[in-house]
């Protein structure tokens, strides 16, 4: 004979017995539930509460709309006074105006007409930094925009290697990787006191030697460049640049010393930032050596430069 199946109540887990509620208690509970429902905020039909919370202020929307009207149709940058226009009213920035003879929108011949009304609008607006795509979140008036963008910490860096053919640019964090992976001639060394050995310095023509010195948690670019000024006239420029901002570079000091044949030559300066072009300050803040000086300190055609990098505060105490 098959065993008798248990009934559903018997299969349910044992629960503590609760005495049944009286009719008065049940009515009170139902009434409380109705009150709780009535206290919930009423939401308009077809609206989303999250959208209501994230709604942007009306002033911001209007400002962004006006800023968008000042986008140049050629370079897509923001037009700053003087703002030019064609005879039909199409706007163009002053930089692009100098490059074009016809309106990029309607193709009529351009004249030097300024739109004074839009210039007044521009003077009242707040513009985003042009380096927004690199992470800058600053918004500025047009009078402060240019100054900020020239020194914006998010401004892309150009390749600091002395090679005019390299057109790479990118964020600061990628400069070191670019140098060691793209430019095979760049060697790297760790330590605040190293020997930078430039080989075959007596070869004719323009040459350069580049290495990266890593110390104090930073990377520094050491450069020795030979410029051929004419037959028999050559100059060597040696310097240290920091892979970082100009503000960070000011916290350090570097020393270059040459020692050979009972002679000593020393040079001390603050490193420049790779923001500054190697060519821009060639005659300003480099250790400059002529051909005869290099011959005095070189051995077998190799020039050894002892480079010591220290923090500015530590150098001052010494």
Would the pLDDT of 38 be above 70? no
Query: The domain 182-317 is classified under which CATH number: 1.10.3720.10, 3.30.70.20, 2.60.210.10, 1.10.150.120?
Result: 2.60.210.10
d(C-alpha 181, C-alpha 213), whole Å = 16
3-state helix, strand, coil in the chain (%, to 5): 30, 30, 40
What mean pLDDT comes out for the span 5-23?
Answer: 45
CATH topology of domain 58-124: Herpes Virus-1 (3.30.40)
- The predicted pLDDT at position 230 comes to 66
In the chain, where the domains are located: 58-124, 182-317
* Neighbouring C-alpha atoms within 13 Å toward the C-beta of 171: 9
The per-residue pLDDT for range 90-146, each reduced to its tens digit, is 999 999 999 999 999 999 999 899 999 999 999 888 898 988 888 889 998 888 988
d(C-alpha 38, C-alpha 47), whole Å = 19
The per-residue pLDDT for range 231-285, each reduced to its tens digit, is 667 889 998 999 998 889 999 999 999 998 889 999 999 998 998 765 655 556 7
Q: Judging by DSSP bridges, how do beta strands 218-230 and 207-215 pair with one another?
A: antiparallel
């Amino acid at each position: 004979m098959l065993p008798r199946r248990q009934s559903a109540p018997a299969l349910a887990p044992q629960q503590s017995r609760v005495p049944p509620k009286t009719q008065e208690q049940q009515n009170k509970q139902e009434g409380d539930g109705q009150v709780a429902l009535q206290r919930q905020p009423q939401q308009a039909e077809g609206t989303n509460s999250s959208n209501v919370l994230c709604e942007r202020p009306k002033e911001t929307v209007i400002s962004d709309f006006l800023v968008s009207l000042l986008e140049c149709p050629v370079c897509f940058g923001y037009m700053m006074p003087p703002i030019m226009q064609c005879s039909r009213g199409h706007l163009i920035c002053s930089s692009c105006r100098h490059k074009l003879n016809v309106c990029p929108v309607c193709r009529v011949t351009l004249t030097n007409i300024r739109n004074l009304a839009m210039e007044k609008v521009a003077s009242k607006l707040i513009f985003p930094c042009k380096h927004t795509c690199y992470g800058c979140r600053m918004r500025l008036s047009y009078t402060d925009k240019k100054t900020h963008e020239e020194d914006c910490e998010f401004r892309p860096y150009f390749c600091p290697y002395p090679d005019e053919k390299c057109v790479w640019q990118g964020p600061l964090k990628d400069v070191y990787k670019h140098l060691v992976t793209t430019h095979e001639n760049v060697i790297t060394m760790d330590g605040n006191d190293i020997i930078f050995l430039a080989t075959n310095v007596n070869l004719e023509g323009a040459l350069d030697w580049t290495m990266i010195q890593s110390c104090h948690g930073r990377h520094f670019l050491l450069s020795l460049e030979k410029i051929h000024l004419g037959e028999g006239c050559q100059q060597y420029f040696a310097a240290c640049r920091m892979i970082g901002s100009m503000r960070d570079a000011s916290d350090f000091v570097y020393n270059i010393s040459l020692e050979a044949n009972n002679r000593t030559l020393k040079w001390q300066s603050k490193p420049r930032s790779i923001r500054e072009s190697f060519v821009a300050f060639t005659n300003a803040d480099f250790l400059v050596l002529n051909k005869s000086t290099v011959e005095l300190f070189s051995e077998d055609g190799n020039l050894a430069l002892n480079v010591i990098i220290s923090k500015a505060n530590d150098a001052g105490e010494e």
